[in-house]
């Protein structure tokens, strides 16, 4: 298994420590489940190390079919750069839009009016009516 930093992953730290302990002086174990692994004696530490390695790979990357599907998607051809939005178009989309007028809706509670503390907009008889807080409760 590759030596990488897993300071923020206690499970990886545990698995790495067990692998070092089990493989002390041995070569890498055969891949879990293959014929060579099956012929190892049950007490052989390489057998346990192969199981830990397989479990850790599964935990990190999921099953092999899912991983291969991810690789296929990651390497598939993408849209041509010329068909994508330009930086100017993206900047225009990201630019702030003008504020929308406060609109009260029929059947909904009054809406607070920004910049006018204590004032609310209500929808009354098809029109927008501004009222003070004392009028809102009525």
Local mean pLDDT, 10-residue blocks, the chain (138 residues): 62 90 87 92 92 88 79 84 89 92 91 92 93 66
Does 112 lie in the same domain as 64? Answer: no
Would residue 69 count as lying in a domain?
A: yes
- pLDDT number for residue 138: 46
107 and 71 within one domain: no
Within a domain: 127: yes
What is the rounded CA–CA span in Å between residue 15 and residue 60? 12
- Could you tell me if 70 and 110 lie in one domain? no
Instruction: With H, G, I as helix, E, B as strand and everything else as coil, classify residue 60.
Output: helix
CA distance 128 to 126: 7
Domain enclosing residue 17, as ranges: 10-75
Confidence at residue 2, expressed as pLDDT on a 0 to 100 scale:
46
Q: Say if residue 23 is in the same domain as residue 68.
A: yes
pLDDT at 1: 47
Note whether residue 95 is domain-resident: no
Total domain count for the chain? 2
Say if 82 falls within a structural domain.
no
pTM exceeds cut of 0.75: no
Burial of 53 (0-12, 13-18, 19+ CB in 10 A): buried
């Amino acid at each position: 298994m590759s030596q990488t930093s897993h300071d923020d992953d206690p499970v990886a730290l545990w698995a790495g420590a067990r692998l070092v302990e089990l493989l002390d002086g041995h070569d890498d174990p055969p891949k879990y489940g293959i014929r060579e692994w099956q012929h190892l004696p049950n007490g052989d530490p390489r057998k346990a190390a192969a199981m830990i390695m397989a479990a850790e790979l599964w935990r990190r990357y999921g099953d092999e079919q899912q991983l291969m599907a991810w690789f296929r998607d990651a390497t598939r051809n993408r849209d041509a750069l010329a068909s994508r939005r330009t930086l100017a178009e993206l900047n225009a989309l990201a630019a702030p839009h003008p504020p929308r007028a406060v609109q009260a809706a029929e059947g909904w509670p009054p809406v607070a009016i920004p910049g006018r503390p204590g004032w609310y907009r209500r929808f009354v008889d098809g029109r927008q009516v501004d009222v003070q807080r004392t009028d809102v409760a009525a």
